[in-house]
Chains A and B, each alone.
Chain A
Amino acid sequence: MPEPNLLVIGNGGAAIHALQAARASGHSGPLHLVSDMQGRAFNPMLSPYYLAGKILFDDCFPFGEGFYKKFDITCHLGSPVETLDSANKEVILKGGEKLPYDRCLVATGASPLLPPVPGLRTSNHLFTLRTAEDTILLHDALSETQSALILGASLVGVKVAEILVQRGIKVTIVDIAGQVLPHAAHPECAGILEAHFATKGVELHLSSNLERVEDHGSEAVFHFQGNKTIKADLCLVSTGVRPNLDFLNGSGVEIDQGIIVNHRMRTSVEGLYAAGDVSQGRNLLTGKEEVIGLWGNACYQGRTAGLNMAGQKTSYPGAVPDHISTLFGLTLVHLGNPMHQGNDVTILSNRDLSEGPYRLMAFDKGVLVGANLINGFESAGRLRKAMIRKLNWEEHFGPLTRVPSDQEIAQFLADVPDSLSIPSPPF
């Protein structure tokens, strides 16, 4: 039997790892890559480092120039996919060209979500930060910017705010939620961060509902509920992302928030796989399927898809939502769901920062379900492991009345059988 014809739509972490894994596992048949973008695979995680002047633009492309040649990949760049005909197993590119496949991976990622606020989408001062093109546009605009409004106090929003402040730009962060980082930080942790951001010169407008945007020459005016207005030269929208799956209309593939996949990254349609930010994955904490928009998760999903497409049988069980990010000099860790609620939930924190780094831990029936750390990230990976393995802390420590120290966490985990064995995903 000839080797199957594998086709990958997308050119990000998931796509690259899929191609690499398929080739490395011995697939000698054709490998096609289709992308609407030109050029190499871009990592959106790195654009803040470029904007901050810490790396060159070229460094935002982590897989190098020679990747596609080395793995003998036929690239179709600058070719957006118009539709995917799953019945005839072919993708139809814009312009009408048809590419047949035996197995196809959808790894098209996600795009910034723009809130439906009148005047926002048409504003000349609107920027987002996701693609290589977005990064260049924002970078070039910064030299003429004196004031900026960041819509969405997300990790991206705060990270960009930090860069703008360093460049002497007046920054206002706005969010509809009553706290910064509403998806990543417990309100108590957010409070500490908010106070810190304020000392760095950031103006915060929380619980603020944007009603409309008007362009007035070189600046835009943002009107909020309650007759509040803010003027700014530049507006960065960082209110989240949505999966790029418009071309799948009519393909019959099952979609919830993202494409539904199983542990082998197979979709509901024969021969069709999905991985990365366009697909869902299992949240190991809740057991629910959801979009887990993390670079590492995308790479693991891509690798799993590539191996299965090449005929191997491997699976990826899922991940827990987690982030680590340095924001205005503080390293914030978010693990699982620090806002977890329920009757058996114990939330412990050491608010007194003179006693060491801030740490908040949420336990449900003695099992760690969420955590926030500020600095003191040394035990972050171990806490993550304890969370994934659903270890019971009460069995070890007795009733939980205070946050365990680093030393206690290390002791607890060292006591777990096979805690020293070399891990396999998830860790």
Chain B
Amino acid sequence: MQIGFSFNVSRCSGCMACVVACQDENDLHGDGLNFRHVTRLEKGQFPAVSMSFLSLACQHCGDAPCMMVCPTGAIYKRDKDGIVDVHQEICVGCHSCALACPFGAPRYLENGKMSKCHFCVARVEDGREPACVRVCPTKALGFGSMDSLSRQKAEKASMFLLEPLMKVSGP
């Protein structure tokens, strides 16, 4: 099985609660040491402008490039849920993963070792949501197995198509 995050860009207000919840959960107090990042996207020119936000952490890739380039085998993928995590005692801090990751997910602790979003693995194993998902006030962030996430997405898309039809043909 592979679990993943879902993100609904039209719901995100850029409140940064996910970033703070992540820092709190993972005891990240270093300067700029965040596992989750919110990027502001501005589009258009006055008066036709729009702004949206993108909250991004490690994507726990199916074929993770960080894992492939890791010279020590410290980065591994869990069979049961597809979480990509790092054995810090094996990591030598070579930063190869920083160059391989197209999302900029790897971060480095003061001891030089890599650390990144591990899906709040302890919470997930306990049947709870990751800290960022739990705290998201607009429900822009979600999580679940990739199967259930794509099913939810398909259901939502079908409803989007069906709803107007139901109104027309309704009583």
| Nearest-neighbor residue (CB-CB) of B63 within chain A | A424
| Nearest-neighbor residue (CB-CB) of B7 within chain A | A420
B77 at the interface (CB under 8 A from A): no
**Which residues of A are found within 8 Å of B43, using beta-carbon distances?**
415
**Which residues of B are found within 8 Å of A59, using beta-carbon distances?**
72, 90
**Is B99 touching A333 in the complex (CB atoms < 8 A)?**
yes
**Is B98 touching A55 in the complex (CB atoms < 8 A)?**
no
Query: Roughly how many angstroms separate A299 CA and B65 CA in the complex, as a whole number?
Result: 11
**Is A423 touching B65 in the complex (CB atoms < 8 A)?**
yes
**Which residues of A are found within 8 Å of B63, using beta-carbon distances?**
422-425
**Is B96 touching A378 in the complex (CB atoms < 8 A)?**
no
**Is A300 touching B103 in the complex (CB atoms < 8 A)?**
no
**Is B95 touching A331 in the complex (CB atoms < 8 A)?**
yes
Given the interface pairs A324-B94, A331-B95, A423-B61, the reply to whether A384 lies near B102 with Cβ below 8 Å is yes
**Which residues of B are found within 8 Å of A331, using beta-carbon distances?**
95
B122 at the interface (CB under 8 A from A): no
Query: Roughly how many angstroms separate A331 CA and B96 CA in the complex, as a whole number?
Result: 11
**Is B99 touching A299 in the complex (CB atoms < 8 A)?**
no
Bitwise interface map of B from 44 to 75 toward A, beta carbon under 8 Å scored 1, else 0: 00000000001010010111010011011100
**Which residues of B are found within 8 Å of A54, using beta-carbon distances?**
92
Tell which of A46, A296, A379, A415 touches B100, judged by Cβ atoms closer than 8 Å.
Answer: A296
A173 at the interface (CB under 8 A from B): no
Instruction: Quote the shortest CB–CB distance from B19 to chain A (angstroms).
Output: 14
A57 at the interface (CB under 8 A from B): no
Query: Roughly how many angstroms separate A63 CA and B70 CA in the complex, as a whole number?
Result: 11
A68 at the interface (CB under 8 A from B): no
Q: Give the residues from 84 to 111 in chain B that come closer than 8 angstroms, CB to CB, to chain A.
A: 90, 92-96, 98-104, 106
**Is A296 touching B68 in the complex (CB atoms < 8 A)?**
yes
The 27 listed contacts between A and B (C-beta, < 8 Å) are A49-B94, A59-B90, A62-B72, A62-B73, A295-B69, A295-B71, A295-B96, A303-B68, A324-B94, A324-B98, A326-B94, A326-B95, A335-B99, A377-B95, A377-B99, A381-B104, A381-B106, A407-B40, A414-B39, A414-B54, A415-B41, A419-B102, A422-B61, A422-B63, A423-B102, A424-B63, A427-B102
**Is A378 touching B98 in the complex (CB atoms < 8 A)?**
yes
Instruction: Quote the shortest CB–CB distance from A424 to chain B (angstroms).
Output: 6
- What interface size band does chain B fall in? 35 or more
Q: Give the residues from 366 to 393 in chain A that come closer than 8 angstroms, CB to CB, to chain B.
A: 377-382, 384-385
**Which residues of B are found within 8 Å of A324, using beta-carbon distances?**
94-96, 98-99
Query: Roughly how many angstroms separate A59 CA and B72 CA in the complex, as a whole number?
Result: 8
Query: 9 more A-B contacts (CB under 8 A) besides A324-B94, A333-B99?
Result: A59-B90, A62-B72, A64-B73, A295-B71, A322-B99, A377-B95, A382-B102, A414-B41, A425-B68
A45 at the interface (CB under 8 A from B): yes
Seen from chain B, the residues whose Cβ lies within 8 Å of a Cβ on chain A are 7, 32, 37, 39-43, 54, 56, 59, 61-63, 65, 68-69, 71-73, 90, 92-96, 98-104, 106, 112
**Is A296 touching B92 in the complex (CB atoms < 8 A)?**
no
Query: Roughly how many angstroms separate A379 CA and B65 CA in the complex, as a whole number?
Result: 16
| Nearest-neighbor residue (CB-CB) of B32 within chain A | A378
**Which residues of A are found within 8 Å of B71, using beta-carbon distances?**
43, 45-46, 62, 295
A227 at the interface (CB under 8 A from B): no
Instruction: Quote the shortest CB–CB distance from B59 to chain A (angstroms).
Output: 6
Tell which of B42, B65, B104 touches A410, judged by Cβ atoms closer than 8 Å.
Answer: B104
| Nearest-neighbor residue (CB-CB) of A322 within chain B | B99
Instruction: Quote the shortest CB–CB distance from B107 to chain A (angstroms).
Output: 8
**Which residues of B are found within 8 Å of A354, using beta-carbon distances?**
none
**Is B68 touching A49 in the complex (CB atoms < 8 A)?**
no
A199 at the interface (CB under 8 A from B): no
**Which residues of A are found within 8 Å of B112, using beta-carbon distances?**
326
| Nearest-neighbor residue (CB-CB) of B90 within chain A | A59
**Which residues of B are found within 8 Å of A45, using beta-carbon distances?**
71, 94
**Is A381 touching B69 in the complex (CB atoms < 8 A)?**
no
